[in-house]
Chain A
Amino acid sequence: MKLSTKLLTYFPTPYFLDMSHVGLDITPSSVKYIELTKESGHLKINKFGSQKLANQISFDDSLVNNKDLQDALTQIQKTQKISFVEVSIPEVKSYLYTTDVPAGDDSGMRANIEMHLEENVPLTLAEAIFEYFPIRADKKTGMVTVAVSVVPYQIVRDYTILLEKSGMTPISFLIENQALSRAVINYDDSSAYLLVQISDKRTILSIVSDHALQFTSSVSIGSADFTDGLMREYCISKEEAEKMKTDPLYENVDLDNNKVFAGMINGLSAIKDETQRVIVYWQSFQDKLKSSGETSGAMIKKIILSGHDSLLPGLREYFSTSLNVEVEVANVWQNVLDLKDTVPDIKFNDSLDFATVIGLALPKHRY
């Protein structure tokens, strides 16, 4: 244990000064929140929940005047007495790229990124807010490879206004798959992982290597499409289809895993194809780096599935057989608590939907 960590265990920062924050994940259908607090040097869940939105929201529209979202946020603030929040920015509204900049201090590297920003994203410098994360440094050339996250200024401003109207102060924004990677990858692990997050309407694919999100892609197929597939295949109601996906003992349908899987194969196959493309892209990119002698080349070590539909019968096997890569379902608690010692208050299948918000709620000093 580092000396600073030991000191912080016995002499923690005063709660008032710590400005402890709550993770807040705004999705099209709900707002999830979770607060992690430190107790005897270990993290524990202090509060968590999910507020359903009266109507689904679209991130293509301006959210600043969205009454349903405003009501949901106000409701959460009133019931949970939340002051500071770290909020997710939807992947579809953000841009990500890697670039090489001359090594130097923060302002020098920022100035260099600003100079080339418009070459990499469809935004002017005035319209954009960006942050960068150093990945690796090349001592020979004096260059540093950085991952740059860019978000339109308007989006951040709208979110800030919306949250302040609800009585909450945003202290940070994170792109949703950046937050996801914090939760599902051990913070000591710098290997390359492909994260597959299956949400309602979309599936987001992200490659995380050297602790940085380096590539992201999404498919407009999500768990709602799997439900529709089952409804069509077996002529059942939406509720029955949902139960069929999650409850292996569901009695009204002749439950054969292969049959359940067959009902969703079209959607799953599209996701599998996109995953295949991402892996091929990454491998070829790494081969190129390796041949130029820049890096040893980080191959995808594992595919990590998150979202409650990652527990669909046969899904893991389908992905691992077709892609020839090890596949596992995410353990969203690995950077929070030890499951051998503690049973979290959130059920395992529900916790898979909380992965992003857990990543947002993790203490800042770790990153």
Chain B
Amino acid sequence: MLYLLTEEQKKKVLQEYRMRLIIVALISLSFVGVVAVVSIIPSKVLVSTHEKILKLQEKNVGGNSSVGADELSKKLADISNTASFLSPLGKTFSNLDIFSHLEKKAGDMTTIRQFQINHFDENVSVQLSGVSKNRDSLIKFINTLKQDPAFTGASFPYNSLARQDNLDFTLNLLVNVEKLKI
């Protein structure tokens, strides 16, 4: 309440008050601005990093597909390797171990061309196909597998024996994990 003041003095006091009101409003706005900027900075950095990653990926995929494919294959190989380590079998034997085991049994006269390991429930099966020099070498390989406790289910591929030389064969074996460890 501006009490008993001259008109000039009232105007002067009101002007001072308005000036202060403007200063307070400006300071408040600046404060809000600073708070907003400080709050936005982490989000901005995160978003710009994501943007850079996406741009790089886009460049890799769109610009040079063979390089991208190679990288992707490499990545996938790494991931598969990691996954095999994480599998229950992989803790003691890798797929490579099973292959090496079969390779040894095959001998010089038999070549394994394809090799696929399947996990189902808690069992592991192997499907392999290859070429044997002659009937004797193929029969010898199958007999060796039959005698090996690490594998069961090896049966003679009679269709393959029809030929004399270079006999193609396909075998399905069950892997006895426990025996394989021994």
Query: From residue 2 to 26 of chain B, which have CB atoms closer than 8 A to chain A?
Result: 2-6, 9, 12-13, 16-17, 20-21, 23-24
Which A residues are in CB contact (< 8 Å) with B17? 17, 19
* Interchain nearest-CB distance for A366 vs B (Å): 10
Q: How far is the CA of A367 from the CA of B1 in the complex (A)?
A: 8
Contact of A170 among B1, B9, B21, B23 (CB under 8 A): B9
Which A residues are in CB contact (< 8 Å) with B12? 169
Q: How far is the CA of A172 from the CA of B4 in the complex (A)?
A: 6
Interface of A is mostly: strand
A153's nearest neighbour on chain B, judged by CB, is: B6
Asked if A169 and B16 make an inter-chain contact with CB atoms under 8 angstroms apart, the answer reads yes
Which B residues are in CB contact (< 8 Å) with A173? 3-5
Q: Counting CB contacts under 8 A, is A216 at the interface? A: no
Q: Counting CB contacts under 8 A, is A156 at the interface? A: yes
B contacts with A, residue count (CB < 8 A): 15
Query: From residue 87 to 143 of chain B, which have CB atoms closer than 8 A to chain A?
Result: none
Which A residues are in CB contact (< 8 Å) with B23? 16
Which A residues are in CB contact (< 8 Å) with B24? 14, 16-17
Interface size class of chain A, counting residues whose CB lies under 8 Å from the partner chain: 20 to 34
B28's nearest neighbour on chain A, judged by CB, is: A14
Query: From residue 120 to 175 of chain A, which have CB atoms closer than 8 A to chain B?
Result: 129-131, 149, 151, 153, 156-157, 160, 169-174
* Known contacts A160-B9, A170-B9, A19 near B20 by CB under 8 Å: yes
Asked if B3 and A172 make an inter-chain contact with CB atoms under 8 angstroms apart, the answer reads yes
Q: How far is the CA of A174 from the CA of B1 in the complex (A)?
A: 11
Asked if B6 and A160 make an inter-chain contact with CB atoms under 8 angstroms apart, the answer reads yes
Q: Counting CB contacts under 8 A, is A89 at the interface? A: yes
Which A residues are in CB contact (< 8 Å) with B20? 16-17, 19
Q: How far is the CA of A16 from the CA of B13 in the complex (A)?
A: 14
A87's nearest neighbour on chain B, judged by CB, is: B4
A157's nearest neighbour on chain B, judged by CB, is: B6
Which B residues are in CB contact (< 8 Å) with A174? 3-4
Asked if B4 and A171 make an inter-chain contact with CB atoms under 8 angstroms apart, the answer reads no
Which B residues are in CB contact (< 8 Å) with A16? 20, 23-24
Which B residues are in CB contact (< 8 Å) with A153? 6
Asked if A19 and B3 make an inter-chain contact with CB atoms under 8 angstroms apart, the answer reads no
Q: Counting CB contacts under 8 A, is A364 at the interface? A: yes
Contact of B13 among A14, A129, A151, A169 (CB under 8 A): A169
Q: How far is the CA of A364 from the CA of B5 in the complex (A)?
A: 15
Which A residues are in CB contact (< 8 Å) with B3? 86, 131, 172-174
Asked if B4 and A156 make an inter-chain contact with CB atoms under 8 angstroms apart, the answer reads yes
Asked if A151 and B16 make an inter-chain contact with CB atoms under 8 angstroms apart, the answer reads no
* Interchain nearest-CB distance for A83 vs B (Å): 9
Asked if B4 and A89 make an inter-chain contact with CB atoms under 8 angstroms apart, the answer reads yes
Q: Map CB proximity to B onto A95-133 as digits: 1 under 8 Å, 0 otherwise.
A: 000000000000000000000000000000000011100
Q: How far is the CA of A61 from the CA of B17 in the complex (A)?
A: 33
Which A residues are in CB contact (< 8 Å) with B16? 19, 169
Q: How far is the CA of A308 from the CA of B3 in the complex (A)?
A: 28
Q: How far is the CA of A192 from the CA of B131 in the complex (A)?
A: 125
Which B residues are in CB contact (< 8 Å) with A171? 2, 5, 13
Q: Map CB proximity to B onto A340-367 as digits: 1 under 8 Å, 0 otherwise.
A: 0000000000000000000000001001
Asked if B2 and A172 make an inter-chain contact with CB atoms under 8 angstroms apart, the answer reads yes
Instruction: Show the binding face of B for A, using Cβ within 8 Å.
Output: 1-6, 9, 12-13, 16-17, 20-21, 23-24
The 8 closest A-B CB pairs, nearest first, are: A173-B4, A172-B3, A17-B24, A171-B13, A17-B20, A364-B1, A131-B3, A129-B4
Give 6 new A-B contacts, CB below 8 A, not counting A17-B24, A160-B6, A367-B1: A16-B20, A19-B16, A19-B17, A129-B6, A169-B16, A173-B5
What are 19 A-B contacts with C-beta separation under 8 Å? A16-B20, A17-B20, A17-B24, A86-B3, A129-B4, A129-B6, A130-B4, A151-B4, A156-B4, A156-B6, A160-B5, A160-B9, A169-B12, A169-B16, A171-B13, A172-B3, A172-B5, A364-B1, A367-B1
Instruction: Show the binding face of A for B, using Cβ within 8 Å.
Output: 14, 16-17, 19, 86, 89, 129-131, 149, 151, 153, 156-157, 160, 169-174, 364, 367
